[in-house]
Structure 1
Amino acid sequence: MKPYLFFLFPVFLLAGAGKPARDLYVLSREYTVTIAGTSNLRDWKENVCAVSGFMEAEGNADGSIALHSIRICMDVLSIKSDMGRVMDNKTYEALKAADHPEILFTLSAPMILTQVRNCGIAIPVKGNLSLAGVCKPVTMLVKTIEISQGKLQFEGYENLRMTDFGVRPPSALFGTLRASPDITIHFKTNFINNLFQTT
């Protein structure tokens, strides 16, 4: 068992006492998370290179999946811009990385995922997003597909305004380049049932 799963195991064991069996899914390394925006000079994009997460889910007899919880954590200092290191540092400063090194998404309420086999459908997913020390509710349109046994794929995006989270849009080149406050976070992630994990 992987070290971080060892510490999580007692939590899920206690939480599941007296409840239907739930499976633990862990975010695999097959993911893409990007942050895109525009500026007064040109469009820009950043890749989030370090993302971790897990979720609790259980399969139902009708083929649907009951999603009980989900937690996705993005490392702010792993964000890399297509505009180079100067913009990277401006991003870290804007997101207050020294005090809030992570961007966190959690599911706000359990939900049922239907039609996930072979071809998924986009459904609204409600959760809480914590960014730069501010937590706000968000609703994302997410497509869910069971791409193989024990492997679920989530793909979607969310449009955000940085100023809603108290984030001042970064600027560079002595103010010559000024980013717009509007950004889009796009993600494509795969979660694998811990029973199917390989060491």
Structure 2
Amino acid sequence: MNIKQWLQADYLPIPLIALMALTRFHHFGDVLHLPDASLAVFFFAGFYRNKAFFAFLLVLAGLIDAIAIANGTSSWCVSPSYVFLIPTYAVMWFAGRYCSAFKSLKPAKLAVQFGVAALATSTAFAISNGSFYLFSGRYPDLSWGQYFSRVAQYYPPYVSSALLYMILGYGVMKLVKSLATLAPSHKEV
């Protein structure tokens, strides 16, 4: 199978599934683990415009979280606000869906897509973090001032790790498209 055939096949979701499975156990990462790539995975999943794949990734995320908690990861983030991960990831999926309309990987088009990705990631943060503080029951007396001071420590790693994965993803896409144009097309006999 040559690169052009592989690009047209249904194999492309496999790297997204693998990336989520390998990184979701540690949200911000540490010396031994990469940060969670779930936001970028949902963003690139939007390129497929497949609602069933979106639903599959939601179930996979929940399953990975359950396995991680069963194996000793803290369940601190699992609360009534956990359901708000659905709109959090939907924002990323719809942003990816929007960006999939851009067929060119030229700098001007990439800048627009990066802007959409940055806005979507910030919106996803506002949904997931805001819902946690409002509905988790963990901070009943937290003032808005305290909320914003706490948020300041989580926003930069949340956004930067997601955007870094997206930049790397676009880099891989550009590389694969370049290889596809260089690959000779063979007609089946």
Specify which structure has the bigger relative contact order, considering alpha-carbon pairs within 8 angstroms and separated by 6 or more residues: 2
Please give the TM-score of this superposition, normalised by the length of structure 2.
0.35
The structure richer in strand per residue is 1
